[in-house]
Amino acid sequence: MNGFEVAQHNSEDGITILRLKGFLDAHTAGDLEAALQKCIDEKKFRIVVNFEELNYISSAGLGVFMGFIEDVRENGGDIKMTSMTEKIFHVFDLLGFPALYDILKTDDEAVERFAQTEKE
């Protein structure tokens, strides 16, 4: 039984897109942790996480992002989140994540946002 998958896609402009699928709980959070750790190890600090096919998240899943964001930002990057369903967004919203993270509708918007930051 494999309830969670992360697919990594490297875009041409040096942005890494992680597409999450399935459910993210205390059992599967380690897989996401490993995927983000791999990005850091490979010095890929501009990360987009796409939630379109994620159908469930608990605090264990949210915690993973909190564990990496500082490291990523210190290295001039960011973790931007896209394509959340209403159900998933509700959990992020409840914990005040929209004030701390860029949560966008599409991957394109996230890529655009990275491009803007670069110009500044």
Partner 1 sequence: MAKKVKTYQLKVPSSTDQLEIIREFVTGVARKVGFREDELNKIELAVDEASTNVVKHAYGYDDRKPIEIQLRVEPDQFVIQITDKGKGFKPDQVKKPDMKEYLAKMRVGGLGIYLMKTMMDEVEFSIDPGRKNMVRMVKYITPETVHPTRTVS
| Sole binder of partner 1 in the list 21, 60, 93, 117 (CB under 8 A) | 60
89 binds partner 1 (CB under 8 A): no
| Sole binder of partner 1 in the list 6, 18, 64, 79 (CB under 8 A) | 64
CB of 12 to partner 1, least distance (A): 31
40 binds partner 1 (CB under 8 A): no
CB 22 within 8 A of CB 53: yes
Cα–Cα distances (Å) from 33 to 7, 67, 115, in that order, read: 13, 9, 26
CB 36 within 8 A of CB 23: no
Q: In what order do the strands lie in the sheet with 46-57?
A: 4-10, 16-24, 46-57, 78-82, 102-104
Write out the residues near partner 1 by the rule CB under 8 A. Answer: 1, 3, 23, 25-27, 56, 58-60, 62-64, 66-67, 69-70, 87, 90-91, 94-97, 99-100
